[in-house]
């Protein structure tokens, strides 16, 4: 199957280097923008001839980047930045090494957002540059005219204090309350807010970095981190594997390190270090079983960084150092599927990457599928089944709420903010698609396919069309009696869940359904429900499948029996607070307020703001909480929720 490592023909779009690895840019097709479009159109025509319907989207074209990697491509980045916590700015320079598709190309186009560009030089001399018009979602194009034969350029700049990909926290907003904290979040197109670069997932770069900080703080990056490095205010990093820009990450704070295994460890503020290390102590075992099933881990170490609670996501798969929300430290390992997910990205996403944001499902669908498999291998089949059912219900909820176009795996995001791609569609629908293939050809055969897939496309960024071509030449050819192109087309290009798709089931949840029904009909009292052996999964299923309307008396009995308002499990609290808001259960509102102002994870706070906004009183409550929380929220959390409080 090695022949699939570099696909030929239009499907792979060699002009965009979406499938390139070792071939230099000079060996690629030399073409102008017109040829670029012609090749893209040919890709669609060829795909149609194979019986797999495509949209009119030019495959491999990144509609969310101003950059021109088809002409000049950035291949390496040298960063030298100083973190100024007083002005909330990163100040320094980015030196970019490039390769030209042809000597005739001299204009390098980079992506920026609200960067103060002070100077651009090549070989120590200023070179002409211009900034384009500002786009609210994409920022501003930075066009640089390179001297002939020069392939290195240095951009001196400073970030904005409101950079969309950087959050500066005061000491009061941290666990230790003594030192400030900084962290970046580059996905989807926020790297351009703190580095001028070609901010497209199809452009992979290696990088080195020098980061200067106050001496009391430690800097860590998505690169080689030395746990024993002295705290001297200057830190050096190297990332030898080529990665897309959205995986470049930096954090600075009062951080300590604790090893969890030979290749795994955790960085956290001192107050969280021991609890985090205990909670995530199975990370090394997860790494080992994933290697056995899907091939070698190719990133040296796998460490975790526990961020302050304002982090807008559950986790971010920054290579070598996943960024993790503290909201999953539950004390009982009940929420560690998040760790399995971010680890799985080391194969699907970081090693094999989506070429554009239309293709995100190639990252998240594969990773979600691997997550379920890792959890099954470590914690058993029963837990896998329960988590799969909960994931399926999340998917159904999103399908009920989304427009048809947003239910498609290969989504059309043209003219939209790429952050709009994030829903349960690329995650859970993508995983369900892969689970169907597994069921049809057998787990052992599908595992062998995935291992080869990760090997053939290692350190490449690919499109949906590339994957389809690969699938046709492998599984569709090997199992023509079990797989067909029409069914695959339905999964990838049609909304919703295809008919007869696999539906996860759990015997444990059948019992929960009976218990809930008995309580609702009054034959069982809340205090008599035996929850001794319930895990977080039983609790979530019990609460998430309650009727829309419950009486205050019913809620009081549940709360009295199980102290749900005061639960310290953030996932259970979220489900309970959603019920409380829907039914105006005021005894939970103090906890609701504290919850909203202390947590910035969008998965947890956005549904609450949305539910509160449905009534005038609820919206007023939400506005008060939002205004207090806003200074500590990440810019992405602010953007996602401010519409509910206006």
Question: Which of 157, 267, 302, 427 is flagged as catalytic?
Answer: 427
Q: How far apart are CA 345 and CA 323, in angstroms?
A: 12
The end-to-end CA distance of the chain, in Å, is 55
The residue written with tokens 């997932």 in the block is: 201
Q: How far apart are CA 29 and CA 16, in angstroms?
A: 9
Pairing of strands 140-145, 107-112: antiparallel
Q: How far apart are CA 211 and CA 94, in angstroms?
A: 12
Q: How far apart are CA 606 and CA 601, in angstroms?
A: 8
CA atoms within 13 A on the CB side of 130: 4
Question: Which of 269, 279, 342, 387 is flagged as catalytic?
Answer: 342
Sheet holding 256-259, edge to edge: 256-259, 264-268, 302-306, 321-324, 315-316
Q: How far apart are CA 516 and CA 535, in angstroms?
A: 16
The residue written with tokens 């559950």 in the block is: 314
Q: Which two tokens stand for residue 60?
A: 């491999």
Q: How far apart are CA 329 and CA 570, in angstroms?
A: 9
Q: Is 148 a catalytic residue?
A: no
Q: DSSP letters along 43-76, please? A: HHHHHHHTT----SS-TT--TT----TTTEEEEE
Q: Is 267 a catalytic residue?
A: no
Strands, DSSP E only, in 59-145? 72-84, 89-100, 107-112, 116-122, 125-126, 129-131, 140-145
Counting runs of H as helices and runs of E as strands, what totals does the chain give? 20, 21
Q: How far apart are CA 256 and CA 227, in angstroms?
A: 8
Q: Give the active site residues.
A: 342, 427
């Amino acid at each position: 199957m090695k022949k699939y490592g570099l696909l030929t023909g239009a499907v792979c779009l060699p002009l965009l280097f979406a499938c390139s690895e070792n071939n230099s840019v000079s060996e690629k097709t030399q073409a102008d923008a017109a040829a670029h479009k012609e090749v893209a159109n040919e890709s669609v025509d060829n795909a149609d001839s194979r019986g797999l319907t495509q949209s009119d989207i030019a495959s491999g074209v990144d509609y969310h980047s101003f950059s021109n990697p088809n002409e000049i491509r950035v291949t390496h980045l040298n960063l030298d930045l100083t973190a100024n916590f007083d002005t909330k700015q990163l100040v320094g320079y980015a030196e970019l090494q490039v390769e030209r598709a042809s000597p005739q190309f001299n204009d390098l186009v980079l992506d920026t957002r609200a960067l103060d560009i002070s100077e651009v030089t090549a070989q120590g001399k200023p070179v002409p540059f211009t900034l384009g018009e500002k786009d609210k979602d994409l920022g501003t194009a930075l066009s640089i005219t390179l001297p002939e034969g020069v392939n290195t350029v240095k951009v001196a700049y400073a970030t904005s204090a409101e950079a969309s990909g950087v959050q500066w926290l005061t000491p009061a907003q941290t666990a230790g309350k003594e030192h400030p904290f900084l962290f970046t979040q580059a996905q989807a197109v926020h790297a351009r807010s703190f580095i001028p670069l070609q901010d497209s997932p199809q452009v992979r770069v290696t990088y080195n970095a020098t980061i200067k900080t106050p001496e009391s703080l430690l800097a860590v990056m998505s690169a080689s981190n030395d746990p024993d490095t002295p705290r001297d205010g200057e830190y050096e990093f190297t990332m030898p594997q080529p990665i897309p820009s959205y995986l470049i990450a930096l954090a600075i704070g009062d951080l300590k390190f604790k090893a969890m295994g030979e290749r795994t460890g955790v960085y956290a503020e001192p107050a969280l270090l021991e609890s985090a290390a205990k909670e995530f102590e199975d990370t090394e075992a997860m790494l080992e079983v994933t290697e056995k099933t899907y091939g070698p881990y190719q990133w040296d170490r796998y460490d975790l960084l526990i961020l302050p609670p304002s982090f807008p996501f559950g986790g971010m798969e920054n290579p070598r150092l996943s960024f993790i929300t503290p909201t999953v430290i539950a004390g009982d390992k009940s929420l560690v599927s998040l760790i399995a997910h971010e680890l799985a990205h080391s194969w699907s996403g970081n090693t094999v990457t989506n070429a554009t944001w239309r293709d995100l499902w190639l990252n998240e669908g594969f990773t979600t599928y691997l997550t379920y498999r890792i959890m099954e291998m470590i914690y058993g089949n029963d837990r896998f089944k329960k988590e799969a059912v909960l994931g399926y219900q999340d998917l159904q909820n999103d399908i009920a709420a989304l427009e048809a176009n947003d239910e498609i795996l290969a989504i059309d995001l043209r003219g939209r903010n790429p952050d709009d791609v994030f829903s349960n569609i690329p995650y859970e629908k993508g995983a369900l698609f892969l689970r169907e293939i597994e069921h049809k050809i057998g787990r052992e055969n599908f595992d062998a396919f995935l291992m080869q897939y990760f090997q053939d496309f290692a350190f490449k960024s690919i499109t949906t069309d590339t994957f389809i071509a690969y699938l046709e030449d492998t599984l569709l050819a090997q199992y023509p009696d079990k797989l067909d192109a029409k069914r695959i087309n339905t999964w990838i290009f049609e909304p919703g869940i295809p008919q007869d798709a696999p539906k996860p089931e759990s015997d444990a949840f059948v019992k929960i359904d009976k218990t809930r029904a008995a309580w609702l009909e009054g034959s069982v009292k809340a205090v008599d429900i035996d929850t001794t052996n319930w895990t977080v999964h039983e609790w979530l299923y019990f609460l998430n499948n309650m009727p829309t309307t419950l009486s205050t008396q019913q809620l009081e009995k549940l709360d009295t029996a199980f102290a749900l308002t005061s639960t310290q499990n953030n996932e259970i609290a979220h489900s309970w607070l959603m019920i409380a808001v829907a039914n105006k259960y005021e005894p939970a509102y103090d906890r609701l307020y504290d919850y909203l102002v202390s947590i910035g994870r969008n998965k947890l706070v956005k549904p609450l703001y949305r539910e509160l906004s449905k009534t005038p009183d609820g919206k007023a409550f939400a506005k008060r909480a939002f205004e207090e929380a806003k200074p500590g929220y990440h810019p992405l959390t602010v953007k996602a929720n401010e519409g509910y409080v206006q």
